Amino acid sequence: MRLVQYLVLLLLAIITSFIPAVTAFRIDIMISKFIGKHLPDYTYSVPGMLFYFLDPSHTSLGFKARSLCFDKEDLDVNLRGRVVLIAGGNAGIGRSAAQSLAELGATVHILCRSREKGERAVTDIQSVTGNKDVHLHVVDLSSLKQIQTFTNEFAASGKPLHVLINNAATMQSERMLTSEGFELAQATNLLGFYGLTRGLLPVLKLNAPSRIINVVSAGMLASQFKLKCLEEEENISPYDGAAVYSQHHRARVMLTEIWADELKHEKIVVNSVHPGWVDTPLLRSAGPMQGFYK
């Protein structure tokens, strides 16, 4: 029976490589829910894990298959006058997005907690693209106080904002608390994510039509969503950084759907995106993912 399940999952995974990404992601979720069983806190859905790691639509195969339907003219745009803010724009996916958007002429604001790393990223992007409208804001995205201060100041400055990209995320090997008393991963992946979005909504509404893009992980399929894991995270033992990360990204997708419905009449489009397997500093350094990375 397990072999049959495995073969069915693999066949469906191959099929999903050749259909639109958003449809494939919803199929992933439905299959994970249908086959998965209720498991104890912080344990994984084995069928979900199989689908998560073996689904070739998350690899270069999925990109190559879908690229056959890409329209190159979609990227032949001039973004001068459009302003983008990227949380976690100094490295990995955020860094790549910042450079690509700067190349298209957008004004790019990067949020980073390290001034040194942020300044290096800004200098490099300006040098490569020739776009000097790339700016750094030093903000610890695990600190609600710092996020509130930044969003208040940004709104008061009168600067426009057309696109918010929530890219920042972290995966911890052990439980750590912020100075405000929150678990570090939850503070960054969810509380900061929520606080930054809510804090910048007035600016996005003022500059509509605008857009919010939430970068998420298909790792959410590897475990079942349990609200208890979020509400009582500090009491669950042992700490499992990968499972915590999975729960957070399920919640990010759920919030995306809530916001998309809430803000559609404000002319704010809200999407979540899983870009596939990407060789980022987070993946390379995350202790719980070392075996998978190798």
CA distances from 9 to 63, 144, 146, 222 (A): 19, 41, 44, 14
Give every CB contact of residue 15 below 8 A, 6+ residues apart in sequence: none
Angle between helices 193-206 and 144-157 (to 10 degrees): 10
Chain-centroid distance, C-alpha 284: 17
Q: Rounded to an integer, what distance in angstroms lies between the CA atom of residue 205 and that of residue 268? A: 7
Contact at 8 Å (CB) between 242 and 226? no
Q: What is the dihedral of CA 254, 258, 171, 237, to 10 degrees?
A: -60
Active site residue 44: no
Q: Is 83 left (phi over 0), alpha (psi -120 to 50) or beta?
A: beta
Q: Is 139 left (phi over 0), alpha (psi -120 to 50) or beta?
A: beta
Looking at 6, 52, 245, 293, which residue is catalytic? 245
Catalytic residue numbers read: 245
